[in-house]
């Protein structure tokens, strides 16, 4: 589990650093970024928020556009942002923005040619936290968040692993991929046509199955161009309500799907996670 530093910048009193490593889960080299607040040291570990980005993104989109560092440094939270898919010359791809590289959908693919490398669910839920906890001054207290495809990933990884995460949040998540064009396309390609195998990767299906104690915060802009066809937040709220799970959905007037939206509310999401991280420490 070796890593190589490929860049770093001091920012907001802390450090943003990029690393590469060979992933045994994905079978290729991967890159991730970490923000470490000034309080992180060899004698003081800090909780960590894992951020999952959306279609076409890398580790750089959130780190460069979200404006999260000042608040994260103030609260003493580390942030880890990974890539959205495996990468490399030998990795299967499609000439489409919503499939293949940049569009891993945070599932463990079972269908060829994707199954050789596209194991993003296991990478995010197992390998990456193990790597981060080994090499950086972070505690085992962690939360997960994401946007769009990454919001879907944060919800399903958090809900499937409630013993690992103390809170979940999402911006504009693909809430019900079984009923979304993006989701149907990706899940069919990566998993095959049996819808039963899709259900562990659908937040609505998971929330309908049982009650969850994990606190969940979801922000959705009502001017989002993907709102009705792809995102379906009303289904997420309905599913959570059916089992009395702790989900708060906030519809934000006038906001779209962009990082302008994320940067407007990211500090509130960090405060939400810090509250629950503090209770778990």
Q: Which of 85, 125, 148, 180 is catalytic?
A: 148
Strand order in the sheet with 247-252: 4-11, 14-23, 28-36, 78-82, 46-52, 138-147, 165-171, 216-221, 247-252
Q: What token pair was written down for 252?
A: 């934000």
Which residue from 36, 225, 223, 50 is spatially nearest to 150, judged by alpha carbons?
50
The DSSP annotation for 90-117 comes to TS---SBTTBBTTB-TT-B--STTGGGT
Per DSSP bridges, beta strands 138-147 and 46-52 are: parallel
Q: Which of 16, 257, 273, 276 is catalytic?
A: 257
* Catalytic residue check, 257: yes
Separation of alpha carbons 114 and 107, rounded Å: 11
Q: Which of 108, 224, 273, 276 is catalytic?
A: 224
Q: Rounded to 5 degrees, what are φ and ψ at 150?
A: -75, -30
Separation of alpha carbons 70 and 266, rounded Å: 11
Judge residue 96's burial from the number of C-beta atoms within 10 Å of its C-beta, 0-12 exposed, 13-18 middle, 19 or more buried: exposed
Cβ atoms of residues 1 and 126 within 8 Å: no
Strands of 27-182 (E only): list them: 28-36, 46-52, 78-82, 138-147, 165-171
Report the SS3 class of residue 192.
Answer: coil
How many CB atoms neighbour CB 260 within 10 A? 11
* Catalytic residue check, 148: yes
Enzyme catalytic residues? 148, 224, 257
């Amino acid at each position: 589990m070796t890593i190589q530093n490929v860049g770093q910048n001091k920012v907001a009193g802390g450090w943003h650093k990029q690393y590469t490593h060979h992933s045994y889960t994905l079978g290729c080299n991967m890159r991730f970024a970490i923000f470490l607040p000034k309080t992180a040291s060899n004698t003081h570990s800090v909780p960590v928020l894992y951020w999952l980005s959306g279609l076409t993104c890398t580790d750089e989109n959130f780190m460069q556009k979200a404006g999260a560092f000042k608040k994260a440094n103030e609260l003493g939270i580390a942030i880890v942002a990974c890539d959205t898919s495996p990468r490399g010359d030998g990795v299967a791809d499609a000439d489409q923005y919503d499939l293949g590289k940049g569009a891993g959908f945070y599932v463990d693919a079972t269908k060829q040619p994707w199954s050789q490398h596209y194991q993003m669910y296991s990478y995010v839920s197992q390998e990456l936290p193990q790597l981060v906890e080994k090499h950086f001054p972070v505690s085992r207290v962690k939360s997960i968040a994401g946007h769009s495809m990454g919001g879907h990933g944060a919800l399903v990884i958090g809900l499937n692993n409630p013993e690992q995460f103390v809170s979940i949040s999402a911006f504009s998540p693909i809430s019900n991929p079984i009923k979304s064009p993006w989701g149907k396309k990706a899940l069919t390609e990566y998993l095959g046509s049996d819808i039963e195998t899709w259900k562990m990767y659908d937040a609505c299906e998971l929330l309908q199955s049982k009650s969850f104690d994990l606190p969940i915060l979801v922000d959705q802009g009502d001017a989002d161009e993907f709102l009705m066809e792809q995102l379906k937040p009303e289904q997420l709220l309905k599913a959570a309500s059916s089992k009395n799970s702790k989900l708060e959905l906030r519809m934000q007037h006038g906001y779209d799907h962009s990082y302008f939206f994320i940067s407007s509310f990211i500090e509130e999401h960090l405060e939400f996670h810090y509250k629950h991280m503090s209770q778990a420490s």
